[in-house]
Structures are given as structure tokens and as C-alpha cells.
Amino acid sequence: MTGSRAVKPSFTLKELSRHLDVPVQGDESTRIGGLATLKGAGPGDLSFLANPRYAQQLSACRASALILHPDLAATVSVPCLLSRSPYVTYAKASQLFAAAEDSPLQNGEDNAVHASAVVSQQASLGANVSIGPHVVIENGAVIGDGSRIGAGSVIGRNCRIGANSLLYPNVTLYHGVSLGERCIIHSGAVIGADGFGFAFDGQRSVKIAQLGAVTLGDDVEVGAGSCIDRGALDDTIVEEGVKIDNQVQIGHNCVVGAHTVICGCSALAGSTRVGRYCVIGGGVGITGHLSLCDKVTVSAMSMVTQSISKPGLYSSGTLLQESGLWKRNAVTLSKLTDLSRRVRTLEQGRSDEDPQNSK
């Protein structure tokens, strides 16, 4: 479908069964060369049904095998991998196929430092690291075993990168940033830039030097072009398992709780705390110094200006309309308090007339 892979990996269902720890129904020797959607799959592909509303696509699906919930096993004749969580099993299978391809980075020879990289003699590189062309690693930085740094990335003074992390090309880490193990940082991300702090002296903004740093836990992913600012005095903290999409902005001294997911283009202003297992939709803005408890979900493009202490689903914003109609409603909205007052006046008028209220 993508035409971009020279050599495609392949597995038998038996091999997949073993790697993914799920049983096979049907011919274990079926050979699988790739993953595909129910609609897009052809011979040699493995597909999956994660969402019941696509169940009617099963009959027409041309995949050689399916990842299926055991309850549906009887409804199909093709070989299956049976999983109580077909979507999770698909995710794990996708990793297997990705790992079987070439590395997404080509840093010259594997497990090597490219000749064009500039690595400080005061930096420390673990075993089996791969450092790409034109990478810069400054004094005191520590790169954990098996970590890979893509071309053009800059690792500032005294950064620490845990084992088996992957930085794509053109990532920038300012000095003193700590990453856990197995972190993935996408291109254009900037971690540890100055928080936005100034003291206004009546004439001009006096810069507040940002003396803290940034700490990311294990298994954090940061999307392309996202920024996480360093703290003013203490560190900005992103806990383990947090997944951050592209173009997200995390202000200084924020704390993002473990396993929270932040979708693209969202922003947290300074010193805000987001709990664990939250889901922040795309384009959401959260103002500074707020606290969101665990398991809060905020829908896309909402504006959060107050703390949230109860788990649940929250939203703001207005619905899209044809622009003429929108404009009339928007103008009326700008006088809504007045409209409300007029309704109250009418109600008082009625209640004066109402014999039950007029005694």
C-alpha cells in the first residue's frame, strides 16, 4: 500500500501466536507479510476487528488471517489469532512488523557514532548506542545503553537519556534534561527551553532565568514539534507512560501524571498539574496554576480555566454552523445576560398574575 518498504518482513501465524501470546484457530503455517484494515487487506495480510461496528466488513475481507475476539471465532472461516483485546494484540503485532524492518534511523553503521557527530569527551555513551550524523552531545551528558539519537539532534550539557530511548532527527534537549528508559522523542521537539517568565518593572519585562530542568519518566513519547519548558526553580515533570502528540506545549513547572495522553496542539500553561490516566483532547488549552484530578477527559478544543476535582468528561466551545446563522447567534449571545434578565421580568409578571403565587 505504501510502496516505501523494500524488504517486507513475514511471519507464520504460529510465530505470531508465540510473539503475541494468543492462540491460533486454523492453519498455523499461514504466512503473513503485513497488517491491513479489514477494507484494505489482501492475501498475505493480517487484519483485525477491534470495533464491533465494522463486523459487517468481515465477510468481504480478503485478509489471510484475522485478529478476533474468541466470541466471534465461530463466525469466520479464515485462520485467526484469538484475543480478548484485539486492538492491543494488533498494536503488539504492528510493533513486531515495524521491528522487523530496518531501523527508522540510519546512523551509518549500527551501534556506532557517526564520524560527523560532535560528542564531548566529558559525555558518557552506553553500550550499543547509535549516534547519527551531525549530532551534538555536550559535556556531562549520559546516553543509556541501546539508545539511538537521530541526525542533527542536540543533547545539551548534563542531559541524561535512559536506556533504549529513541530520538528522531533534529530534536533539541537543553542542558540538564532527564529522559527515562524507552522514551521516544519525535523530530522538531524541544525539551528544556526556558519557561516564559518575566517580572514587569513598569517599563519593561525583566527576564526570570529558568533554573529548573525537565524530567521525563520511562516510556514517555513526545510528538513532533512539541515543547516542554524547563522549570523556573523546580523541574517540569512528565511521569512514566505519558503520551504527548505533535505541537503540544507544556509550560514551566507543570506536572503531568503517569499514563496521561495529550493530543495534538494542546497547551498547558505554567505550574498546572494534570492527574494520572487523563485524556486531553486536541487543541485544548489549560490555563496556569490549575489542578486536574486523575481520569479527567477533556474534549477537543476545550478551554479549561478552573481546577477539576471530579473524574469525568468535560467540554467547552460552540457548535459549527453555517456562518450567517452562527453570526446571528453569536451576536445574540453577546447580549445573553440581558435576555436572561428579560425572561426573569416576564416570569415575575406571570407570577404576579398567578393566583397560586399571589396569596
**Residues contacting 106, CB < 8 A, separation 6+:** 132
Interface mask toward a copy of itself for 246-285; x: CB under 8 A: xx-x-x-------x-x-xxx-x-x------------xx-x
Pick one of 36, 67, 125, 183: the residue that binds a copy of itself (CB under 8 A). Answer: 36
H-helix or E-strand spanning residue 207: strand 205-207
- Residue 241 near a copy of itself by CB under 8 A: yes
Binders of a copy of itself among 179-198, rule CB under 8 A? 184, 186-188, 190, 193-194, 196-198
Q: At closest approach, how far in Å is the CB of 190 from a copy of itself? A: 4
Q: Which is nearer to a copy of itself, 74 or 324 (CB)?
A: 324
Strand 142-143, strand 118-119: pairing: unpaired
The nearer residue to a copy of itself, 14 or 350, going by C-beta atoms, is: 350
Query: What DSSP string runs through 145-180?
Result: TT-EE-TT-EE-TT-EE-TT-EE-TT-EE-TT-EE-
To the nearest 10 degrees (0 to 180), the angle between helices 86-100 and 13-20 is: 110
CA distance 65 to 31: 9
| Interacting span for a copy of itself (CB under 8 A) from 12-20, 23-31, 66-74, 230-238 | 230-238
Q: Please, what is the minimum distance in Å from the beta carbon of residue 72 to a copy of itself?
A: 18
Beta bridge partners of 236: 214
**Dihedral sign computed on CA atoms, order 294, 300, 305, 310:** negative
Residue 202 φ/ψ region, left for φ over 0, alpha for ψ in the -120 to 50 degree band, beta for the rest: left
**Is position 114 annotated as part of the catalytic site?**
no
Q: Which of 69, 134, 186, 252 is catalytic?
A: 252
Our finding on whether 75 is near a copy of itself (CB under 8 A) is no
Which 279-318 residues touch a copy of itself, going by CB under 8 A? 282-283, 285, 287, 298-306, 308, 312-318
Pick between residue 127 and residue 336 the one whose CB is nearest to a copy of itself.
336
Q: Does 29 bind a copy of itself (CB under 8 A)?
A: no
The answer to whether residue 321 forms part of the interface with a copy of itself (CB under 8 A) is yes
- Which of 22, 229, 239, 275 is in the footprint of a copy of itself by CB under 8 A? 229
Q: Which residues pair with 246 in a beta bridge?
A: none
Q: Which region, judged by CB under 8 A, interacts with a copy of itself, from 13-21, 25-33, 60-68, 221-229?
A: 221-229
- Tell me if 207 contacts a copy of itself by CB under 8 A: yes
Asked if 7 interacts with a copy of itself (CB under 8 A), we say no
Q: What's the closest the beta carbon of residue 174 comes to a copy of itself, in angstroms? A: 7
Min dist. Cβ of residue 63 to a copy of itself (A): 12
How many C-beta atoms lie closer than 10 Å to residue 84's C-beta?
Answer: 10
CB neighbours of residue 127 within 10 Å: 9
Residues 6+ apart with CB under 8 A from 186: 168, 171, 221, 222, 223, 224, 225, 226, 246
Options 18, 21, 75, 104; binder of a copy of itself; rule CB under 8 A = 104
The contact pattern for a copy of itself, residues 121-140, with x = CB under 8 A and - = no contact, is -----------xxx-x-xxx
Compute how many residues bind a copy of itself; rule: CB under 8 A.
Answer: 151
Q: Is residue 35 at the binding interface for a copy of itself, with CB under 8 A as the rule?
A: yes
For every residue of 229-284, which 3-state class applies, written as one string? CCCCCCCEEECCCCEECCCCEECCCCEECCCCEECCCCEECCCCEECCCCEECCCC
Contact track, a copy of itself, 149-178, x by CB under 8 A = -xxx-x-xxx---------xxx-x-xxxxx
User: What is the C-alpha end-to-end distance of the chain, expressed in Å?
Assistant: 79
Q: Which stretch binds a copy of itself (CB under 8 A): 15-23, 25-33, 71-79, 326-334?
A: 326-334
**Residues 299 and 283 sit within 8 Å (Cβ to Cβ):** no
Taken as a whole, the chain contains a residue count of 359
Q: Do residues 161 and 179 make contact, with C-beta atoms less than 8 angstroms apart? A: yes
* Catalytically annotated residues: 252
